[in-house]
Amino acid sequence: MLKINNLHAGVEGNEILKGINLEVNAGEVHAIMGPNGSGKSTLASVIAGKEEFEVTEGNVEFDGENLEDSAPENRAHKGIFMSFQYPVEIPGVSVTNFMKTAINESRKARGLEDMPASQMLKLIREKAELLDIDRKFLSRSLNEGFSGGEKKRNEIFQMAMLEPKLAILDETDSGLDIDALRIVANGVNKLKSKDNAVIIITHYQRLLDYIVPDFVHVLHEGKIVKSGTKELAHELEAKGYDWIKNGAVV
Amino acid sequence: MAYTEEELKKELETKEYEYGFYTDIESDTFPAGLNEDIVVAISKRKEEPGWMTDWRLKAFKAWKEMEEPEWANVTYQKPDFQAISYYSAPNSKPKYDSLDEVDPELLDTFKKLGISLDEQKKLAGVAVDIVMDSVSVATTFKKTLAEKGIIFCSISEAIKEHSELVQKYMGSVVPQKDNFYAALNSAVFSDGSFCYIPKGVRCPMELSTYFRINQAGTGQFERTLVIADKGSYVSYLEGCTAPARDENQLHAAVVELIALDDAEIKYSTVQNWFPGDKNGKGGVFNFVTKRGICEKNAKISWTQVETGSAVTWKYPSCILKGDNSIGEFYSIAVTNNYQQADTGTKMVHLGKNTRSTIISKGISAGKSQNSYRGLVQVSSRAENARNFSQCDSLLMGNECGAHTFPYIEVKNKTAQIEHEATTSKIGEEQIFYCNQRGIDTEKAIALIVNGFSKEVLNKLPMEFAVEAQKLLEISLEGSVG
């Protein structure tokens, strides 16, 4: 589904990703771990197509198609979703209105008519239930005055609504207490299927207790320095990132 | 590829005026210039009674002694008042019983403007009085209104047929000498609308008027007078669009609202005069005086969506004369390219327990300057007066400006005045967030701007809100419509 080939990318001539290779297939859950500044969030942003980052070498393929020159909204239409580490506030735009717009824009891109209101309402109700979201919450302005937990839960709600093929969760666990973490993780687990894939970007291992990855990759200085199964996450937790930094790799 | 801020800015700048076309309708136009003879000629031409001619002449005398004000936060080439023609009327003058009889080219013009009269009629029973270059060409729904005793006609007709009412109230809220532009308007106003709602009557439909400037080089000087008698209610809608012109066009209107005891007037405006091109060439000068007076327990609510004009100078105000009266001002002002807007309100609290609310939303893009200027005045007799003001500014790009000039004058200790102000910028992060959810940049901006303006858009009547939302999108984004 996703194939990253020797990806080099940076911002304003400053190279952050220095040759990433990664393949993610349908039905898989990958965790990308690494210390601060290793390039985790940059990788997520580059896959999502954020303009600020310049790809200098290599590429990202999605469903066999080179994503180079594909605008972020087009990538979203193809089924790439990113849960933001810091979701942005949009005052005066309700969660419902935002989702309605997003869904209908994606449908338009696929040549479909707007989703009928009744169907939309049904979908919203269904997904809100799945994530234990109060209906009142949906009429509030997007992310405005939301607690850290509410913001992250809202991100997963949007993921549930948009039903992406590939979901990238960028530090979704940061700022979450244990209850919120469980709700978010349950939501992701319920949405997992053999047809979609999840990339979890995280600093800590704790989210991986709830969403069990098939593969764990360790990112350091813009490169994947170690890959393994979920045991690698435990090993990292026990030994710390210094273990990686000190060059005891591969 | 997605937009960078640079590209976005470029696209905003190149957005040409959507309604930039010119209709070739034969006009009967006065020669340029202004003197007593012209004032008398206008009055004669309109077959006005003697008192009206005298009233105009008094205004003209006052105007000659006045100077164009310079305190607003705008800079422009002052118009040459002797180069303007003060009267222009479409030639196909006779009134029509049905729209089928109206000049097809005129109807075509309205179509381009997106104003389908048929649709308007169907929409919740809106009566439309069209002022096309100063003379009313069509009035609909007159009968339904007449049954309730409501008078809704052109001001010219009212001067002739409802002389007493006009003579009593015209100039009672905005005196001839009020300011430079009001004096000019008083001398040369060509037409406009008149509305009277009798005691205790609730006007069953939204009253609507469309104004357009059409003939090259003719300033338009409308005069609107709305009188809501005791215990009555009316919602009045005013929408403007104008075709593209090279030279600056002057628009100096006067609107007077009179809300007698327990009456309520809701006055909504969507203004989309030609704003000039992306280099700041052309565009309408919009110097408008709008004011209403509230008697006991009366309420006046101004709502405006201002997207057009090269220069806007406009302060819809309320004089809260009667005890317990209420004044409201809800405004969205959008400026792009080289547009300049200096707009706001005055809330003058004279009566006891008077209340006022001001919600102002300014959106600036391009190289434009957007100013809010507001005065809240509480007189010594106005016990327990209350005001709440909120001024929010939204900036797009780095070359525009947003300014707030709130003035507060309080002479009574019991007054409660609150003022809140915020300034924010549409960020690349907000746009990327929308993009990531599949919403392209244009749509994202529309979404953000509509969210920002929501409190004001919600105050507009339903059918107008849709149009206003569309206008916001058109004003800020290339092809979205």
Domains in chain A with CATH codes: 2-245 (3.40.50.300)
Whether the CA torsion B464, B330, B366, A73 is positive or negative: it is negative
**Residue B287 burial (10 A CB sphere; 0-12, 13-18, 19+):** buried
- B425 touching chain A per CB within 8 A: no
Q: What ipTM was estimated for this complex?
A: 0.95
- B480 touching chain A per CB within 8 A: no
Alpha-carbon separation of residue B357 from B43, B380, B387, B460 (angstroms): 39, 20, 6, 16
Within a domain: residue B167? yes
CA–CA separation, A143 vs A152, rounded Å? 9
**Residue B37 burial (10 A CB sphere; 0-12, 13-18, 19+):** exposed
Contacts of A102 in chain B (CB under 8 A): 434, 437-439
3-state secondary structure of A114: coil
Tell me B254's DSSP state.
E
Q: How many domains does chain B have?
A: 1
Q: Which of B432, B452, B454 sits opposite A50 (nearest CB)?
A: B432
Pairing of strands B299-306, B326-335: parallel
Domain that holds residue B182: 5-476
Q: Answer whether A155's CB lies under 8 Å from A87's CB.
A: yes
Per-residue pLDDT 10s for chain B (481 aa) are 344 445 544 544 444 444 444 444 445 677 778 888 888 888 888 889 999 999 999 999 999 999 888 888 888 888 888 888 787 665 443 444 555 655 565 555 455 555 545 443 333 234 455 554 444 434 456 667 888 999 988 888 899 999 999 999 999 999 999 999 999 999 999 888 899 999 999 998 888 765 444 444 445 788 999 999 999 999 998 876 555 454 557 888 999 999 999 999 999 988 877 777 777 777 888 899 999 999 999 999 999 998 888 889 999 999 999 999 999 999 999 888 888 999 999 999 999 999 999 999 999 988 889 999 999 999 999 999 999 999 999 998 888 899 999 999 999 999 999 999 999 888 889 999 999 999 999 889 989 998 999 999 888 887 677 777 777 877 775 322 2
Q: State the smallest CA–CA distance between residue B4 and chain A in angstroms.
A: 7
The verdict on a CB contact (< 8 Å) between B433 and A50 is no
Helix A95-109 / helix A148-162 crossing angle, nearest 10 deg: 30
The β-bridge partners of B362 are: B333, B393
Output b/e per residue, B249-269; b: 16+ Cβ within 10 A.
bbbbbbbbbbbbebbbbbbbb
Within a domain: residue B308? yes
Q: Answer whether B361's CB lies under 8 Å from B392's CB.
A: yes
Within a domain: residue B21? yes
Model confidence pLDDT, tens digit, residues B294-323: 999 999 999 999 888 888 999 999 999 999
- For chain A, the residues whose C-beta falls within 8 A of a C-beta of chain B are 48-52, 69, 71-73, 76-77, 81-82, 84, 87-93, 97-98, 101-103, 105-106, 109, 141, 158, 162
Contacts of B454 in chain A (CB under 8 A): 92
Per-residue pLDDT 10s for chain A (250 aa) are 999 999 999 998 899 999 999 999 999 999 999 988 899 999 999 999 999 999 999 999 999 999 988 999 999 999 999 999 999 999 999 999 999 999 999 999 999 999 998 999 999 999 998 888 888 889 999 999 998 889 999 999 999 999 999 999 999 988 788 888 888 899 899 999 999 999 999 988 889 999 999 999 999 999 999 999 988 988 888 888 888 777 644 4
The token pair at B277 is: 């091109």
The token pair at B407 is: 């003035």
3-state secondary structure of B280: coil
Within a domain: residue B481? no
Model confidence pLDDT, tens digit, residues A20-31: 999 999 999 999
3-state secondary structure of A42: helix
Within a domain: residue B137? yes
Within a domain: residue B201? yes
The token pair at B273 is: 């005069």
Q: Nearest Cα to B188, choosing from B78, B28, B34?
A: B34
